[in-house]
Chain A
Amino acid sequence: MLLNQAKLNVDLVVKNISANSKNKLRLQELGLIDGTKILIKHKSILKNTMLIIFNNSCFVINTNIAKEIEVNYV
């Protein structure tokens, strides 16, 4: 299940990142590696942008990145 389809405020776990190599590496280097717990805190009005929490920090990502993060519900 892709991140941008997941529900708000529900614990998720990263299954795979299929983003292009540059985005993928940066996400991983920020701590978003397979098995990391992740939570969507907020989605913008058009749901193009979201606030996600991982590695005890909060990040803004848009749907172009979010759609390439595969997650499972915990």
Chain B
Amino acid sequence: MYKILLIGNPNVGKSTAFNSLTKSDEHTGNFHGVTVEQKTKKIHFQNTDYEVVDLPGIYSLNTYSFEEEITKNEILKNKTNNSINLVIIDANSLRKNLYLCQQLNELNINYKILINNYDYFKKNKNKLNLEKLKNALNIDVFLINAKKLKLNENLIKNQQKNTKNYNYLNNIINKIQQKINKSKIEIIKALNGDFSNLNNEEIEYIKSFNSLVVQARYKYIDDLLLHCVEMDKNFVYGLSKFDKIFLNPVIMFLGFLLIFFASIYLIFFTVGAWISDKLTLLCNSLFVTPILNLIINLTDNVWLIEFFSQGVFSSFFVILSFLPQVVLMFVFITILEDSGIISRMAYVFDDFLSKFGLNGKAVYIMLLGLGCNTMSTMVTRNMNDKNLKTKTAILNPYISCMARLPVFVIIASTFFSKIAYFIIVGLYILGFLVALILGLILNKTVLKSKQVGLLLEFPPMRGIDFKHILQVTKTNALDMLKRLTGVIVSVSIIVWLLTHTDFSFKYTQNISESVLYFISSKISFLFTPIGLNNAGIVCALLVGIMAKELIVSTLTICNNATSTNELINSLTISSSVICLTKASAVSLLIFSLLYFPCASNIAVLRQETDKFTTVFALITQFTIAYIISFVAYQLVSKGVIFAIISTAIISIIMFAIIFVTKKIKQGKCLTCGKCK
């Protein structure tokens, strides 16, 4: 099997080409560094299997961020096994894109060039003589449209051996060789970021030639392009005529808030809710009722009937009813991403975020987090500062993802039907505020960022691609269905079994006699101060760590509800297993927003940071969730004065714990703070 590596600068269309070649639906976007890990898919062409690999964008083999390292390693790893290297370059920034090609030439790596975005290039009065370019480069060059790319013989046929043309570096190499006794190949490798077999002194000496090397490469590229390309002198790739509007911070800030709040209204309360109602009705008439009737006709076993109606169907369909809202939210994020607005936001909000120890790239990560925290935590990889990356990864789960949506909508509609919209908007704002304040604290204490440089290519604005929107809708709907039919139904079944089995392993309809209820009731006292001293809720919160959707599914199972409406009604009835007051509902909303992220997010956090950071992040998140839920609960249930007094007591206890821990860590006496 042959490997096809898709290589190129960030945001040139590699993932789009990957999707076209492999008929996949991988995430693409109009932003620098969307792909942060390599993606592979096998395809079959002319009786041969190929593995297509989409690599994160890379400007140069001298890597700058974590994901560029992945690409560099993959390119070098496959150097000897005849992989087919397709370098995708953007016609609008040929000079910059050819820099990477030149490095591949120097390392004797064969490749073909696919020029994307040629239409935009031509539209802006630029000219390219493809034949002359092919001859000058002495490499196969093709014009492509990444959205319609298909594998063909030209792409896979034996690659023209490149000419190893690095004569322009000869003088520099000779100078280096006068001081360092290494072969030409070893020096070339070092000039491309591979410093193996060199000591520190040699590395520093070779690095001192970096400026000259870059200048020599660009001189070579300029000579090469001189007769092939005619660029309009005023052409700037990236800026658009709308940027006068989008770069105004006031317009951008107010515009974003307006669009965001309007989208929440449309998604959760009007269009989304309408589609959701229709979907529920359709599912009930097509699946739930006929299947349940069939089971009832086949058996009179109560256990079996309840198992299917509550354990399987109810949890599945209650969460399925939120599918339209989830998909619409992803469409909203995709529109922001594809249009290039997120890049404008990253620029405009960089000023503001720098006060909190973050930078503009965090905007992209936080907006992705509105869809899925796990995915956005992974994207922190495109940050080049370790502390900044860790900080953003820790703060990311405070942004409410789509999986929390069912809890918000159900609880807010049950207890605050008239102001449900404002409650949900408030929760999103609370998440952002907590993230920013914690960012500020981390920046002043354990994760101080040195003055971090932000360097980001500004992508052009693009119109909405409805085909891509449809693709995103399909992908996210299928993803949610996969989660529903996989982890959510499986865990829901386990939860149902544990909530309907007593200690003698017999079926019980009385949930308070069940195994899970018993275990949860033993720790539920911990949640008394935040008004959630209920074994059912504790059980839902524990199960919710697996996946946030499971909070609602567990509430449904505990209250023996079979639909969203039944669940909503049951939450206010005192005889239900889970019955909430307004104060405890507020507390539950806040706690589910802020407490532990889901298991997959924890795993990615561990992967992107370290064990200590992961544990620290989890403890911090639980503590913050607990404190804010406590204050909110006291405020709603007992009034302002009681809330202030109890908050003050909690603060004193917290400070005392921090003080004692600090002194113990320093090995100092707790009384005088001086003697050891």
Q: Which residues of A contact B (CB under 8 A)?
A: 19, 21-31, 33-34, 41-42, 44-46, 48-49, 51, 53, 55-62, 64-65
Contacts and interface: CB of A to CB of B under 8 A. Distances in A.
Nearest to B65: A26
A27 B239 CA distance: 19
12 contacts: A24-B211, A27-B455, A29-B214, A30-B59, A31-B96, A42-B247, A49-B454, A51-B347, A58-B236, A58-B457, A62-B350, A64-B451
A60 B60 contact: no
B391 to A, nearest CB: 16
A2 to B, nearest CB: 14
B486 interface: no
B651 interface: no
Contacts of A46: 351
A64 B452 contact: yes
A59 B210 contact: no
A19 B453 contact: yes
B236 A65 contact: no
Contacts of B354: 48-49, 62
Contact of B236 (A19, A34, A56, A61): A56
A30 B93 CA distance: 10
Contacts of B235: 56
Contacts of A44: 249, 347-348, 350-351
Given A49-B351, A56-B95, A33 B457 contact: no
A55 B59 contact: no
Interface residues of B, number: 42
B454 A62 contact: yes
Nearest to B235: A56
Given A22-B64, A56-B237, A49 B347 contact: yes
A60 B350 CA distance: 10
Given A26-B59, A56-B235, A48 B214 contact: no
Given A33-B215, A49-B350, A56 B457 contact: no
Q: Which of the listed residues B93, B346, B347, B384 has the most CB atoms from chain A within 10 Å of its own CB?
A: B347
A40 to B, nearest CB: 13
Interface in B93-134: 93, 95-96, 99
A47 to B, nearest CB: 8
B488 to A, nearest CB: 40
A44 B458 CA distance: 14
Given A49-B347, A56-B231, A65 B455 contact: yes
A32 to B, nearest CB: 9
A22 B64 CA distance: 7
B360 interface: yes
Nearest to A21: B207
B237 A58 contact: yes
Tell me if A's interface is mostly helix, strand, loop or mixed: mixed
B62 interface: yes
Nearest to B215: A33
Contacts of A31: 95-96, 99, 218
B238 to A, nearest CB: 3
Contacts of A61: 453-456
Contacts of B347: 44, 49, 51, 60
Interface string B239-260: 1000100010100000000000
A46 B99 CA distance: 34
B376 to A, nearest CB: 20
A49 B454 CA distance: 8
B534 interface: no
B457 A64 contact: no
Given A58-B458, A64-B452, A29 B351 contact: no
A53 B243 CA distance: 14
A60 B218 contact: no
A23 B454 CA distance: 10
Nearest to B219: A33
A57 B455 contact: no
B359 interface: yes
Interface string B209-223: 011001100100000
Contact of A45 (B96, B218, B351, B384): B351
B203 to A, nearest CB: 11
Contacts of A29: 59-60, 62, 99, 214
Given A29-B60, A49-B347, A60-B456, 12 more contacts: A22-B384, A23-B453, A27-B455, A41-B239, A55-B95, A56-B95, A57-B236, A58-B236, A60-B346, A61-B455, A62-B453, A64-B451
B237 A60 contact: no
A27 to B, nearest CB: 7
A42 B458 CA distance: 12
Nearest to B64: A26
B91 to A, nearest CB: 11
